[in-house]
Structure 1
Amino acid sequence: MDYSDDDVMLDNDSGEDNYHYTDEDEDDDGKDSNYEGIIEDDSSNRSSLGYVVLKEVDIHKHQRDDIEQVSTILSISQAEAIALLLHYRWSVSKVQDEWFTDEARVRKLVGYIAAKIDEGPGCLKVKCPEPSCSAAICQDLIDKVTNEKDKEKYDSEEAHSPVDCETVAQWILKNSDESENTNWILANTKPCPKCKRSIEKNKGCMHMTCTPPCQHQFCWMCLDPWKSSCYRCNKYDPKDETENKRTNAKQAIDRYVFYFERWVTNQSSKRKAMQDLEKWQSVQLKELSDKQSTPETQLQFTIDAWLQIIECRRVLQWTYAYGYYLPSNEVAKKNLFEYLQGEAQVGLERLHHCAEEELNQFVYNTEDTPKNFSDFRNKLVGLTKVTKTYFENLVKALENGLADVSKSSTDSTSSFKRQKKAGGSKSSTILSNDERLAEEMQLDLYENIE
């Protein structure tokens, strides 16, 4: 019998389908459950609602029946039957129709290993799809059954959009070649710009505050005073050319160190955010749930915020590799890239601070804790959504090679948009073409959010 997704409902807090089963899922008396008892319990409700609520053991019984049916009819192993049913959403009729129409195409489409490779780094630990088997699938088997494209995915680095694989390979090679010569530059501490005491960066965001009595606030990246309205430390500023003592080789090293330091700093912040998320899920989420008298399932927005921070740190990390290989003679693209990158970092720092500092106030009930948790929820959800949309559009722009840089920045529509954004101010007329273009693209990104 064919059971589609619409035939059953299963109570599953995680929101994910659970298609695995064990023999322990059968009833204690050895008898399998079936539809009859359920239908007899509430036949009138069933007919009015149009569905039947099944217990988990009933689901597993139907799955076993479907697996056995597909395995027998198609003369394939149960592991292969499971892969087919998962792909076609447990529709036996769909599996049979597609299989008998074009078996070769279905085998290629459903390929278990290829599907795992497409899921990402988890493919490195892929195991046999048979639920009762925990044998690992080794690389020699993967080499036999995958094509060259999938092999490249399997052997490559972590997700690295918006940078292509070739650029990643060049960047990783350069880091391994030059890291020994530059490690001494990337110290674990930096001096406070005001009091000169060494400060260790122990949080994810770049906003640093020196210990009392100094309490000077500055940016970890550039050591400038912290001003969220003029975040410019993502722009590489070569030294004055009048300093003739600096050779071209030294400038090249300085430029590389600039991008590498920011690449590795965002990598470290990403790893720190992953640790913070783990701590949040294992300890702090329950504490917040207790103090706010709110079920953990209604606090998913806090986890979503941390997951977005991790993803944005990953993207921002690789934008510095992108910037390093951006041709220096393409000034317009460089200016647009730095503007968009800087705005992305401002938005991310705002979200990171909200999730790291403001959220903890509700966990530990400090004297500065806001009174209205609902307002904070709306703020964090909003920041998460805005940041997500901006970074998605940033990735698209960079993957398209900043194609908008070739668009005219003087058309009437763009001019109207700039004047509207500036409240009719004429100050926009003194902007350079590059600045106008960056402003237009920034407006486009935020209009997509609205």
Structure 2
Amino acid sequence: MRRVCLTLPTHRACTGTIAAVAEEAAYGAREFGVEVHLLILDSSAPADLATHRAAVAALPPAPGVVVHHLDEDRQRAFLREVLTAAGLAGADRLLDLLLPSAVSYGACTDRAFLLAEALGCASVHRRDSDSRYQLLDGEPVFPIHHELTALGRRAADLAGTVVRSRLDPGCADRTVVLAGASFIGELSVDVAEIRALDPEVYREVVGLSVPDGYPEIWRRNLIDEAFRGAGTTPFTTDLTTLTLVSPTRVDMCNVALGREVYGRVPLPPATDTIGTDYFLLHLVRHARLPGVLHNRHIVNYHTDERRSDEGFLAYQLRFAKYLLATAHLDTVYAGLAAAGDTLLDAAGRVRPAAVAALVRDSTRIDPADSETRLDVLERGYRSLGGRYTAAADLFAGRRARLIAEARADMADFALLVDAWGALTAHAKGTAVNRPPGSRPSLVAP
């Protein structure tokens, strides 16, 4: 039986989301005859973790659904066993990258990838704790429907199951490795207030996320559409497109990837940096691997924690680090675009060494670009006043450190890409939920 991994990484209270994602898992198992491994990776504080354990225990049993709720101790035990089996140099450093003490959107998903390998899954379907499903006639609209329909199939064989195809015929024999949609509701990044306070500052700051070289009219459109997802129009009927999926049309709360991709290359493990977990979406597009873009958008909302002064500063720091990371990532993405089909080997698989080389090259960019980005950010935030002044002060006080971290994050990513093949190979057959401190034993996937 085909196994798939529906994963929910979380570091906050989300009992409602746990119940909703469990419903999606039951739907996938029931409608598609697959075994769905619901994987909850929990980095929450002790009180929230206890509440989550109770919520998981209260989930009704569902045929074909296997639930795994792993706190960080159990995640760490799993990773240590994989690293020991792989026998890689610098295992402690790799463990820090995969399970850092700070928030890392890429690392939490990398852990899901490795655990999916251990479970023998063919795909990973990711959701987020600060989102919920749309309803149609009172019933939830589950993205897993299109994900399970498309992933792992030859693109040409999907012609009769999608509403439209915009795929180059030259890619028709390739496997569909991505299915995704976006979100409706609040902006995915906390910049709406900046736009309300000063649209010009908004254009300057958000413009830092747009690569150089775009014609001005395209640039303005990209700035206007940034972080807005699919807008606010609710779901009424399905629209599916077979295509080379644009990363700007997909949100990481609503995406599924085949192991043909994540089994070869991980996500950047950068900490306190939004946006870096979209890396594989860019890789898939530039390697000309087919995907399905659908419109079962998830509803995005902002938690109360993000609205607090402390949460505001933490999030603005993550946004600033993202804008610095893009100076490096844009270089990598340009290299991926130039490489195109040569990113694949003779068997049509992504070549990790080609990706690692481009990532390493990006560590050599001129730091003057990062200095300019921080200049724009600090100047704009100071002009807004209020708590944005505190954010500008934070950026100024950490300027050299932030620039150095952006460069180091890319070097760390290249290191992880180099190790990834050994990690995925040795994850297979490793026990997923062994208590910390227990003796390893051979466990079938």
> Shared fold (TM-score greater than 0.5)?
no
Task: Indicate the structure whose relative CO is greater, using CA pairs within 8 Å and at least 6 residues apart.
Answer: 2
Q: Counting helix residues as a fraction of each chain, which structure ranks higher? A: 1
TM-score for the superposition, normalised by structure 2 = 0.28
TM-score for the superposition, normalised by structure 1 = 0.28
